Amino acid sequence: MAKTIYIAGLGLIGASMALGIRRDHPDYEILGYNRSQASRDIALKEGMIDRATDDFASFAPLADVIILTLPIKQTISFIKELANLDLKEGVIISDAGSTKSAIVDAAEQYFAGKHVRFVGAHPMAGSHKTGAASADVNLFENAYYIFTPSSLTGQDTLEEMRDLLSGLHARFIEIDAKEHDRVTSQISHFPHILASSLMEQTAVYAQEHEMARRFAAGGFRDMTRIAESEPGMWTSILLSNSETILERIADFKERLEAIGQAISKGDEEQIWNFFNQAREQRQAMEIHKRGGVDSSYDLYVDVPDEEDVILRILELLRGTSLVNIHINEENREDIHGILQISFKNAQDLERAEHLITENTDYTVVVK
Ligand code: NAD
């Protein structure tokens, strides 16, 4: 039976979800809310949605499923608004916020005693781009799509959501909202704080030591890449998960203090163990085994500095899920080849390795 889906917030996440829903359910009607006209126009013009509004409440009673793809604060205020609207019996409401406890708590508070099914969700894919113009039907491919069930979520709710979102080609998983926030504070929120602190420290330092800018290379780039993230989104993430993040900061201060003491004591063994343990731990991590949260499938090719080399390789790889291509300018021992090509899945990585090895005499390394 065709359903009516209402997506509130036609930004990167909302518009990409609309495209993914369309892919497997072309007969569903998709309604869209957006505050600004620009993303509404794009979403209509590109056929992502069938109808658009800037009045959130107006479409809500028509929907079988409502997905709030808005900043965390607005998600909570729209949950409050939905609780006072005359919605369809058995409607499912979900969201996409990067932190979950505050949103799930609000839903449990405002929807208590109402005929509403709610499931918190966090699609773990995205980028620094914003707005409907950046929408990508493949944004969620192979990414974890986390559901955080609560007292408002039944097994039927999860089944219907997984069916609705099948065209996203994501990996659905369920976890408790509080545990979600604890885990993401460690592997996502706190690393963002570290990256931005390191960037800020370096920028201040470089005012007095100009060469710091010039010498910053691969390691520094890897450590600070996420300092380019969107400030508004990260402000709301830190403020909506403050308790666990403060714990991570306190824990990290102790670790920094301990290595600082080892250095001041000249304790060679402790310093060696510090690095060795971290190396072993990282090597054992999911990101190394592929399939972890942000893993990509990378291939390194040693190519000569010749005209048309990149074009030739791209030509060979036509039709693969290539997501990124990077030219490593520094020729250093921790870099495995000049050209780094990233794929979305293991099959395409294997195929590319085969194509390049068969058709060229370049050295290919998969790591
Ligand atoms: P975006 O900036 O592309 O879109 C945000 C949407 O919210 C837009 O439609 C905007 O018009 C709307 N909006 C903003 N402020 C509003 C307000 N005061 N009133 C009404 N509408 C308002 O952002 P996005 O990346 O699509 O993020 C949406 C949600 O998804 C956020 O909760 C974010 O935490 C979450 N999320 C983002 C990513 C990511 O990497 N971008 C990943 C996972 C989850």
What integer pLDDT is reported at residue 141 of this predicted model? 86
- How confident is the model over 202-232, as pLDDT tens digits? 999 999 999 998 988 888 988 998 998 889 9
Q: Is 35 in the pocket of ligand 1 (CB under 6 A)?
A: yes
What SS3 string covers the chain? CCCEEEEECCCHHHHHHHHHHHHHCCCCEEEEECCCHHHHHHHHHCCCCCEEECCHHHHHHHCCEEEECCCHHHHHHHHHHHHCCCCCCCEEEEECCCCCHHHHHHHHHHCCCCCEEEEEEEECCCCCCCCHHHCCCCCCCCCEEEEECCCCCCHHHHHHHHHHCHHHCCEEEECCHHHHHHHHHHHHHHHHHHHHHHHHHHHHHHHHCCHHHHHCCHHHHHHHHHHHCCHHHHHHHHHHCHHHHHHHHHHHHHHHHHHHHHHHHCCHHHHHHHHHHHHHHHHCCHHHHCCCCCCCEEEEEECCCCCCHHHHHHHHCCCCCEEEEEECCCCCCCCCCCEEEEECCHHHHHHHHHHHHHHCCCEEEEC
Average pLDDT (258-283) is: 97
Pocket test for ligand 1, best of 39, 44, 70, 181 (most atoms within 8 A of CB): 70
Q: Is 11 in the pocket of ligand 1 (CB under 6 A)?
A: yes
Distance 69 CA to ligand 1 centre (A): 6
Domain boundaries, the chain: 4-175, 180-284, 297-366
Q: Is 120 in the pocket of ligand 1 (CB under 6 A)?
A: no
Distance 288 CA to ligand 1 centre (A): 30
- How confident is the model over 67-125, as pLDDT tens digits? 999 999 999 999 999 999 999 999 999 999 999 999 999 999 999 999 999 999 999 98
Q: Is 13 in the pocket of ligand 1 (CB under 6 A)?
A: yes
Q: Is 360 in the pocket of ligand 1 (CB under 6 A)?
A: no
Homologous superfamily (CATH) of 4-175 is: NAD(P)-binding Rossmann-like Domain (3.40.50.720)
What integer pLDDT is reported at residue 9 of this predicted model? 98
Average pLDDT (307-319) is: 87
Residue closest via CA to ligand 1's atom 18 equals: 74
Domain at 297-366: CATH architecture = 2-Layer Sandwich (3.30)
Q: Is 32 in the pocket of ligand 1 (CB under 6 A)?
A: no
CATH, range 180-284: 1.10.3660.10
